[in-house]
Each structure stands twice: as C-alpha cells, then as structure tokens.
A and B are shown apart, each in its own frame.
Chain A
Amino acid sequence: MLRRLRERVSVVWLVGPFVLYVGALPFVNRVHPIVLGLPFFLFWMLLATVLTPVTIALAALGDPRFKRDREGDAQ
C-alpha cells in the first residue's frame, strides 16, 4: 500500500480532519467571537464536522483507486 501511495498524491487531504480538529485547537479554544449565535469553540467544531467529509471527498476525487471504484471495476 505504501509504495502505491506515490500515485495517490491526493490522499494528503486526509490530514484535513486532523488539522481542523487538532491542529487548530490553540487558536479556537475560546468563547468569543460568537458566530451564528454559537460560542466560538462550538462553532469551530461544528464547522470542522461539516468540512471533514469535504476533505475526505477531495482525497477521494483525486485518487485513481476511487475512480476505478466508480467505473464499477470494484476491487
């Protein structure tokens, strides 16, 4: 698997959720500003939860393996 990852560059997007949930912590652990009525930390976690599938989709869309799945040659 590791060798083949070289042809699957887009999977670096998979670090996305880690950046959103973990990397951003020092900057988002606060009550203000209030966004959409939500205290900032809650807002950020909700945003991260909505963006997580987006980053994984970006990883998948550039992944030759995922394209092959969709052509029905499911392996």
Chain B
Amino acid sequence: MSDAAIALGIFAFFMLVTVGLGVLALRRSASRSLTDWSVGGRSLGTALVWVLMAGESYTSFSYLGAAGWGYGYGVPVLYVVAYLGCGYAVGYLVGPLLWRYARDHDCVTISDMVAHRFRTPVLGAAVAVFATVFLLPYIQLQLTGMGVVVSTISYGRVSLDWGYAVAFLVTTAFVVVSGLRGSAWVSLLKDVLVILTLLTVAVWIPVHFFGSGGLGYPHLLHRMVAEKPEWLTLPGHDSPGLGMGWFASTTLLSAFTITVFPTTVAGYLGAKNAGALRRNAIYLPFYQVLLFIPLLLGMAAAFVVPNLKDSNLALFRMVVDALPAWLVGLTGVAAALSSIVPMGVFMLVIGTMWGRSVLGASPRLADRQKGLSQLVVVIAGAAALLLTYTSPNTLVRLSVVSYEGMAQLLPVVLGGLLWRGMTRAGAVAGLAAGTAVMLALVLSGNDPLWGCNAGVPALAVNAVVNLAVSTARWRRAD
C-alpha cells in the first residue's frame, strides 16, 4: 500500500468513529429537548466539561497557526497561552455566575440570557445576529484548517476543495444529530489522540532533525539562541507591532472576552453544577503546556524547512517528511478532530441562538426551536463552506476583528448580570459605540493603536457610553 493510502485509510476510519460516537452519545441522553441538544441537558460532570472545554481551546490553529506564528515571528504567539491561563482565572468567578443565571431562568445561550435580563426579545435577537457575524469566520478558519490537513496528510492526493467538503460533512453530521454531549464525547477521542501524537512528534522531530543527544533539544535551543535570538523575545522577528504593550493588552482583553464567548458559555451551561466549573478552572490550565510543542517545533522548522510559502504548514511539512505513514495519518486525525470539535460547537451555538432568540422568538414557532436550531446549523455550515469556495478573503478579513468584536458583548452579557442599573438603552448605545470605534480603528489600519490592542479602547468607549446612558435614564425614571 502506498503511504497516501495508509494515511488516508486511518483518517477515514476515525472520521466514521467520530460520527459513530455522536450517535452513541445521543442514545445515552434521556430526552430530546433543545436544552438537551444545546447544553447537554446541563448534565456534564467535571471530566466531560474538561475534555469539552480543553477541546474547544486547542483548535487546528494550534497545529497550523501557532506553528506558523512560531515559524514567522517567534514567541509573540504565546499570548494564546497567556490569555487562556488568565481566562480560566476569570472563569472561576464568571462561569458559575452565568451557569446559575441560565439554570434559574431556563436559558441555553447568551442571546436568550440577554433577552431575559433586559426583558427584550429583540435585544436577544440582535445579540444573536451580532455574535453570528463574528463566529462565521471561525467556522471558515476551521474548515480551511482541516482542508489543509487532509490535503497534506494525503501527500497531496486529496485536493483542498474536497478536504473542506469532508470537514463540513463530518462536522454537520455529528453535531446535528447529537448536540453538545456528542461534542464532549468526540472531544474525549480528540484529546487522547492529540496528547499521544503531540508527545510523539515532540520527541520524533527534534531527534530526526537535530540528533539524539537530549532528544535533539539542546542542539535545537542552542542554535536558536545563537542564530535566531530575535524570535525569542517580544516583539518577535519582523512582526507587525507585537510588542509588550500588544501582548499585555491582548491577554487582558481576551482573558475576559473568552468568558462570554458563546462557545465557552455553551461549555459552562453544559455543566452539571457550579462546582464542576470551579474545579475545571484549576484543571484546565494544565492543557496549555501542550501549546509549547507546536510553537517550539514551528521555530525549529525555520531551520529545517526555510522559505515555506505557507508558514502555517511549518509543523506538518516536517511531520510528513519525517514520520512513517501511519503516524502521519494519526497526527492528521488529531489535527482534523481539533477542527471538528470547535467547529461543531461554533455551529451548534449559532444554531441555538437563532433557534431560540431569532426564529424561535416568534410565538408561532416557539415549539419548534430545536428543529429550527438544527436547520440553522446546516445553513451556517453551508454558508461558511460556500464562502470558502467563492470568496475566501471575506471571512479572513472578518476573522481579524472577531475577538475584538466579541469583546464588545462583555458589558451587555456580563455587566448586565453584575449591575442591575444597566438599562436597555445603555446596553444598545454602548454596544453600538464600541463596535463603531473598533471597526473604525481596525479598518483605518490602527490596530494595534499605539502598541495597544484596538479592542481595549473600543471596549472602554462601550462601557463609558453604556454607563452614561444607563444612569441618565435611571435618574429620570426615579
């Protein structure tokens, strides 16, 4: 058998297992309600919440983008580790807060929490649409990520376009059928494979390319310090302003933003109790140690495969060159599942928000919310797939502002729960002002702004406008 056939055979087998796991997870569930599908019936224990949320945090970006950043810029990519670590600390308090509110008021996603908090279904629908705009680019990122992986591990036999289609089909199939619980079970498979293959790769590649003394690391690190010191401190090598100010502001902004990110919230709400979330705030950060591997290997690739056209392939180029076919296949499966799990939850969350807060808000359709949600999953995935084929750059441009855009939801979602005085008008005015400032800064090429992530000044404007409008109305009402 050829190498491509072996790698692809392993890959195809695990894709079938993935869909199978989704179906099995469905059979374990007690009911068929929207709550059961969207947030696993609020029944996931500590271990399943761990695999699910770790699975969401370790996406195909970790294999492709992180290695690519390491290859191109060096250490600035560690902001991912930094904001996730800080985000778990914030989540220790925020997770249980959101979980309790959602349980007490029977909410399944951030849009219906906002609708309930402000007694305004239209505001919930607006949040759903807003969040969808900023989530779609992530689906496309994962689709393209998986397409690249499939194409690479097939030694070029499978085209990118077919890779995207496979990604869409597998993900849609298991998410529509099984919902969040299925994602958690697939995450379990994914985490096992990710940990095994990454540790293997972390040993194999340095030994293969840098000799066996100390597994090759002393030689690799020595060469890095001697020949590429620029890569080893902020702002990195030839980076677009990724200095300490950028690192600090992006870490702070993202640490808070991730706690209201709709997919994180899906993980929170799926928990059986608040204790499962507090325990996970302690256990989840350990997973981030794994992120150092693609970063280091990405930097190693700068020696081994210099002048790559696509820096995102830094890690996979070496994997394909150095590893036997069956390990290439397994590593490909791990990377593909790292696309499928987050992409599935992104689509699930979009479906849930629309099914509950946009379409399902109409009384005529209120009893069909789950069916509508599943329909929207297919539509959202198909839309991302179509855009990937027809105008791949639209969503890439949008993805640049995704995190900064989602940050603008912080006052409305989190602030609204903490501060009873916030009014509907304040929330809307703040959200509009913050988003306008963010778009103006990014589109005019001012991100980072004086070395600071543009989302931070935008969020500040958002909060101040919110505060001013809310208190102005509040006094009048008194």
Contact = CB atoms under 8 A, between A and B. Distances in A.
Interface in A1-55: 1-2, 11, 14-18, 20-22, 25-26, 29-31, 34, 37-39, 41-42, 45-46, 48-50, 52-53, 55
Contacts of A29: 233-234, 244
Interface string B80-103: 011001101110110011001000
B275 A45 contact: no
Contact of A16 (B89, B247, B283, B286): B89
Nearest to B83: A21
Nearest to B224: A39
A29 to B, nearest CB: 5
Contacts of A21: 81-82, 85-86, 251
A13 B218 CA distance: 35
Interface residues of A, number: 41
B279 interface: yes
B292 interface: yes
If over half of A's interface residues share one DSSP class (helix, strand or loop), that class is named, otherwise mixed; here it is: helix
A46 B214 CA distance: 19
Contact of B282 (A49, A56, A65): A56
Given A57-B282, A74-B273, A25 B244 contact: yes
B75 A41 contact: yes
Contacts of B289: 46, 49-50
A48 B221 contact: no
B252 A18 contact: yes
Contacts of A52: 85-86, 88-89, 285, 288
B232 interface: yes
A48 B81 CA distance: 9
Interface in B317-358: none
B278 interface: yes
A34 to B, nearest CB: 7
A6 B241 CA distance: 40
Interface string B221-260: 1001100010011100000000010011001100100000
Interface string B438-464: 000000000000000000000000000
A11 B89 CA distance: 9
B247 A53 contact: no
Interface string B12-42: 0000000000000000000000000000000
B81 A1 contact: no
A11 B96 CA distance: 14
Contacts of B272: 74
Contacts of A20: 85
Interface of B: 75, 78, 81-82, 85-86, 88-90, 92-93, 96-97, 100, 214, 217-218, 221, 224-225, 229, 232-234, 244, 247-248, 251-252, 255, 272-276, 278-279, 281-283, 285-286, 288-289, 292, 296, 418
Given A14-B92, A34-B225, 19 more contacts: A14-B89, A17-B88, A17-B89, A21-B82, A34-B221, A37-B221, A39-B224, A39-B225, A41-B232, A42-B75, A42-B78, A52-B88, A60-B279, A60-B281, A65-B96, A66-B278, A69-B273, A69-B279, A75-B273
19 contacts: A14-B90, A20-B85, A21-B85, A21-B86, A21-B251, A25-B247, A29-B234, A31-B233, A39-B232, A41-B234, A48-B85, A52-B86, A52-B89, A56-B92, A56-B285, A60-B282, A65-B278, A66-B278, A69-B274
